[in-house]
Structures are given as C-alpha cells and as structure tokens.
Amino acid sequence: MGTDIEFSRDGGVARIAFNRPDKLNSFTRAMHADLREALSQCETDAGIRAVVLTGNGRAFCAGQDLSDLSFEPGAMTDLGALIDQNFNPLVRRLQALPKPVIARVQGIAAGAGANVALACDLVVAARSASFLQAFVNIGLVPDSGGTHLLPSRVGVARAMGLAMLGEKLPAEQAAAWGLIWECVDDAQLDARVDALARRLAAMPTRALAAAKQAIHAAGTQTLSASLDLERDLQAALGASHDYAEGVNAFLQKRAPRFEGR
C-alpha cells in the first residue's frame, strides 16, 4: 500500500484515511489503487468488523484531483473510463462491503468526495463540515452515485438544487434534511465516531451486512420482492452463531457476546 492512504486497526475497527492533506485529499489514480488494497484487507480479515473512512488534515475529500487528468483536446472523453475504472467500483464496493462503514467527515466533502461519503452506511460530520456537489461548476453532472443518492435521501426538489446550484450544504442542514446520519460539534467528532465504530464492531456482523443488502435492494424492487428477500436472509441468519447467542442472551437476561459469525 502506498502513502496516499493510511490504514490502521484497533481491535475490530479498521481506519482508512485519505492521506493527501495538502491537496484536500483529492483523488488520484494512485490513491484509488491504495484504497482498493485497504478495502480488500477489510473484506478478507474476519477480525475487522467495522470500518471508518476519513481524511487527514482539514478536509474529508475534495473529489477528483484535476491535475491528475489530461486536458489535451479530446482527452476529456477519458472521464468515462476514469469513472468506470475507479469511482463506480468504489461506490459499489462500499455499498456491498459485508461490514458497516462509517464516513467521518471534517471540512469539505466535495464532488466525488461528497458522494463517496454518502455511499457509506453512516455519515457523521463535524458541525463545521459541508457537502458540495461541485460538478456543475466545471460543467459536469454529479457522479459516483450522486444522481441516485441525492433524490433518494432528500427528494427531487432538494437534489435538483444541490446539483444545479453547486452550493455548499452545511453539515447541520445535511443532517436536518436526512442526507447524513448525524452532525456533531467539532470537538466531539472523534469520540462520537469511535464510540459508534466500537459499538458496530461488537454487533452481529452478518446481520448488519444483511440489513445493508436488503435496504439497498429495496430501492429497485417491489414490496413483494423485499418480503421474499427478508425471508431468505432471516432463514440464513437463523443458522448463525450470533442468532443463537442473541436468543440465549435474551432468555438468560444478559448482554450478548456476538462474534460476527
């Protein structure tokens, strides 16, 4: 793994940090490669049961580093390939990761950086943070899932305003609109994210992964299909260690000791 991503682990919690603070953690192809390696480790290490995604320095992520692109005549057609090779697989991977992912957002989350944060399961932002769909300011459309995630969370009217006006949305407003999970005072950000991550890491990991799967599927299927998926997921989880532990703990009036299996 290169230097553009910092990876660390504390017990069952992995921390992935964008590490280009002098560039507001904007994405390059090299950073994508490092991030893929870090996510692979999270996927394959059974001891990792929750993931925190954040940025070092004064920003979460300012989106794509434009200096990593070619601006020769006709070269902007490479944007499609860049998205197909890097951003789209990243968003799909975060949504499908069989472990909960918390985006810890400080400073600006702009462009693809904003939408990568929104692709995580829980977004906790500092009160001074903001989200910016910056694409229109350089003649582009929101990508990295923006045109899907925005209207599904805040409705069409607000999604249109965010996409067309390209204005910063303060974290407190983002939380009030339901775009993110929570906005906290800056001084409380680390403590709140750490507490959530530890809590999730101690929970039944397979059940959390199943909840992700079912909720993401709900947007593209009928109620009947959702009922069938819930049935199938419950049948599989009913054979898990953590289900047996949860039931026994309930009957014995004690705290469960989930192992993520």
Per residue in 178-228, pLDDT tens?
999 999 999 999 999 999 999 999 999 999 999 999 999 998 999 999 999
Task: Say what the pTM is.
Answer: 0.93
Using the predicted structure, report yes or no on whether residue 236 has a pLDDT greater than 70. Answer: yes
Mean pLDDT of the chain: 95
Phi, psi of 51 (to 5 degrees): -130, 135
Q: What pLDDT shows up at residue 134?
A: 95
* pLDDT 10s digits, 8-23: 999 999 999 999 999 9
Q: How far apart are CA 51 and CA 197, in angstroms?
A: 7
CA 224 to chain centre: 28
Confidence of residue 74 (pLDDT cuts 50, 70, 90): low
| The pLDDT value given to residue 138 | 92
Contact 110, 63 (CB under 8 A): yes
Percentage, residues of the chain above pLDDT 70: 97
pLDDT reported for residue 162: 98
Cα-Cα-Cα-Cα dihedral sign, residues 140, 120, 40, 8: positive
Q: Using 50, 70 and 90 to split pLDDT, how confident is the model at 173?
A: very high
Across residues 140-169, what is the average pLDDT? 97
At 93-149, the pLDDT tens digits run 999 999 999 999 999 999 999 999 999 999 999 999 999 999 999 999 999 999 999
pLDDT of amino acid 259? 93
* pLDDT recorded at residue 221: 93
8 Å CB contact between 194 and 150:
no
Torsion of CA 66, 70, 76, 79, to 10 degrees: -60
Looking at residue 67, what is its pLDDT? 85
pLDDT of residue 39: 97
Sorted by where each starts, the structural domains of the chain and their CATH numbers stand as 5-201 (3.90.226.10), 205-251 (1.10.12)
Q: Are 91 and 54 in contact (CB under 8 A)?
A: no
**For tokens 């490092």, what's the residue?**
34
CA–CA separation, 252 vs 261, rounded Å? 20
Q: How far apart are CA 119 and CA 220, in angstroms?
A: 16
On whether the CB atoms of residues 15 and 52 are closer than 8 A, the answer is yes
pLDDT, mean of residues 80-103? 95
